[in-house]
Structure formats: C-alpha cells, structure tokens
Amino acid sequence: MPRDLLHDVQILLAEAGFGPDSGLTTTRDGPAVVVFWHADHLIRPIITAHAGDPDVGIAAGIPGLRTALQTALTSVFQAADLLPLPDPGGLLRVTAGLGAGDAARREGANG
C-alpha cells in the first residue's frame, strides 16, 4: 500500500510544532502536497503583545517571517527524505524524494 504523502506531511508538520492552530494548511495537488501559510495565526499575537514597540512592526514583517518559515520547513521535509520546493501560490510544494535506497537501486541499474 503506497504511503499517503498528504498524511505524512501533516504528521511531520505536527511533530515539528506546526499543528492545526499554526496557520499552516496542506492540500494535495497531483503527486505533490502544497503547504500554505496564513500569517495571521503567527503574527497577530506578537503584534498584540508588543503593540507599543515600533520595532516589533518592523521585525514582524511578512517577507522575513515567510522566508524564515520556508527555510525551517525545508529542513524538516529534507530530513524526512521529501523534496520541498518553493511554490508561487503557497509556501512550499512537497513531493516524495529519492530516498537513499532508491538512489542505490538506480545507481546499480545504471551500471
């Protein structure tokens, strides 16, 4: 029975601390899973807690947080032998990676 990539991605996200209230959502897109990020869940509490500090507004900018989140999640998925690539409509497009066992079989087949 083939693995369910969507389920695997959701489990990896939860294990990395990105559960249902994190602002991350996932959807199946052909052989890939697209991870979407809705910033409100992460940014609003920070801004509310530090509303009087103008530096928080600068530090909590969407582009910087998006890049940091994308980098962190890329590491999580790569550690699980999945292939995460930037997705223009979402945050990341995750596909099943070429695991070490698959790479060894492919190398042996090529001679």
- Please indicate whether residue 45 or residue 68 has the higher confidence score (pLDDT): 68
Full residue range of the structural domain in which residue 60 is found: 5-109
- Please indicate whether residue 9 or residue 88 has the higher confidence score (pLDDT): 9
Asked whether residue 57 carries a pLDDT value surpassing 50, the answer given is yes
The chain-wide mean pLDDT, for the chain, equals 78
Between the alpha carbon of residue 23 and those of residues 33, 91, 103, the distances in Å are: 16, 12, 35
Structure tokens at 10: 């959701």
Condensed to tens digits (0 to 9), the pLDDT of residues 15-28 reads 999 888 888 999 99
Return the ∠ at Cα 17 (arms to 15 and 22), rounded to 5°: 125
pTM greater than 0.75: no
* Structural domains of the chain, count: 1
Identify the band that residue 97 occupies on the pLDDT scale cut at 50, 70 and 90: confident
